[in-house]
Amino acid sequence: MLRNILIVPALALAVTAAPALAETQVPQSQAEISLSFVPLVKQATPAVVNIYASRVVEARSPFAGDPLFGNLFQDFRGRPRVQNSLGSGVILSGDGIVVSNYHVVGQATDIRVVLNNGAEYDAEVLLADEEADLAILKLEGAKDMPFLPLRDSDTVEVGELALAIGNPFGVGQTVSSGIVSGLARSGTATGNARGYFIQTDAPINPGNSGGALIDVKGQLIGVNTSILTRSGGSNGIGFAIPSALVQQFVEQAEAGKTSFERPWAGMTGQSVDADLSESLGMGLPGGVLISQLHAASPFARAGLDVGDVVLAVDGQGVNTPPEMLYRMSVTGLGHEARITYLHDGAQQEAKVAMIAAPDDPPQQRVTLDERAVLPGLTLARLNPAVQTELGMPLAGGEGVVVVDPGPWGARIGLQRGDLLRAVNGQGIEVPGDVDGLLKKAAPRIQIDAQRGNGRISLRFRV
């Protein structure tokens, strides 16, 4: 297709200005004569690997969730089975740092990485994050590995040529070409991944996950993660996680972190649509309206208030909360982001510190032992760090929250994120109160809790 596109202008120039064409466009290499991606592919493919991962999963009761038979078979324990996954990865350093998707290697117990020359390496996960669908691996005993340099994905533009390299359907390493067809795609990826993506029409199929999306210089601009399809095959709408976020993952993995830490905004917001922009007197829609601010929010400390509209982070426009979180994430913890916002109709700027969610007041996390009424129940005092961990809304209030109900807590109906208010009418102040209150209340116990915006009461006997 590329050759056909280029022949037409060449013929036209041959008729009107043949001498000039001969003087200025003499081919300088075999690559220019063949008009192919061969040199680029030879340069890039050694750094793209195939990943074979396996994990042991417990068999689930066929009656799980059934209102009639669920309780009867709640102790069902089937034989564990091995679940295999196939995907791709990209080597990012000579000592064997590899990036792939979480859904390829997450929770894997055995990971085998195969290079395109047939060499095989065992690998361990250094850092993984299900929400971003990214994982950083380290190849055991690797040295002098071929690797791809990272390009700043903020410099990528729509219309650039791009190559997708991976192992679709397990047939072996393949290369497909296309263009960057969209930027700032948020909320469109499948699975658990959320955030901000590069869209490409280079065919991406199952098994391409974790593979490379590169530019014409062989630089990594994104990690292939998903497709938008109705048939299960590639329809020309694929998504890649931008290299700027990959860079932050690598930096945190090399710093020894095992889970990805995102900057904490301490706010909730909503996209400004046409109706909202009109009511705010903005003219054109765009930005994120701040609807709620935590007292400890770095945005509040920088002078922003409820009703302000965040327009850009470090000069990059944001139109949805996921885009804003992405921009904060690529700025990185410990840095300051330049925030452009509207306050009372006037555009202003502020420097906002990128901080982790504060662990204040201290969470005082406890897990009840086997002598407790509800062994295995894990509790913590609610604070911004715990809210972030549990994915709770900002307006979660105060109190003692269930981090893990444990087997017995789950059996009586407790769920992760429940706020415990009282045991048999006695108020709960800190996590350490719960064990004693339960023992004191036995054998007839009532736990009052808050779940979301509602109140629940759980009654049981021990």
Among residues 85, 100, 103, 201, which one is catalytic? Answer: 103
Residues sharing a CB contact under 8 Å with residue 16, sequence separation 6 or more, in sequence order: none
What is d(CA 121, CA 274) in angstroms, rounded to the nearest whole number? Answer: 53
So what's the architecture of 47-139 in CATH? Answer: Beta Barrel (2.40)
In the chain, CATH 2.30.42.10 covers: 267-353, 366-461
What is d(CA 401, CA 452) in angstroms, rounded to the nearest whole number? Answer: 12
402-423 pLDDT per residue, tens = 999 999 999 999 999 999 999 9
Angle, in degrees to the nearest 10, between helices 243-254 and 321-331: 50
Residues sharing a CB contact under 8 Å with residue 75, sequence separation 6 or more, in sequence order: none
What is d(CA 175, CA 48) in angstroms, rounded to the nearest whole number? Answer: 11
* CATH number given to 267-353: 2.30.42.10
161-183 pLDDT per residue, tens = 999 998 876 677 889 999 999 88
DSSP 8-state class, residue 360: -
pLDDT at 168: 73
Residues sharing a CB contact under 8 Å with residue 432, sequence separation 6 or more, in sequence order: 364, 366
Q: What type of residue sits at position 180?
A: V
* CATH number given to 153-254: 2.40.10.10
pLDDT at 228: 64
Residue 444 pLDDT greater than 90, yes or no: yes
103 is annotated as an active-site residue: yes
What is d(CA 141, CA 148) in angstroms, rounded to the nearest whole number? Answer: 19
What is d(CA 114, CA 89) in angstroms, rounded to the nearest whole number? Answer: 10
In the chain, CATH 2.40.10.10 covers: 47-139, 153-254
pLDDT at 256: 93
* Superfamily for domain range 366-461: PDZ domain (2.30.42.10)
Q: Which of 34-38, 297-301, 380-384 has the lowest mean pLDDT?
A: 34-38
Among residues 100, 129, 133, 215, which one is catalytic? Answer: 133
Q: What percent of the chain has pLDDT over 70?
A: 81
Q: What type of residue sits at position 288?
A: V
Among residues 88, 176, 209, 271, which one is catalytic? Answer: 209
The mean pLDDT of the chain is 85
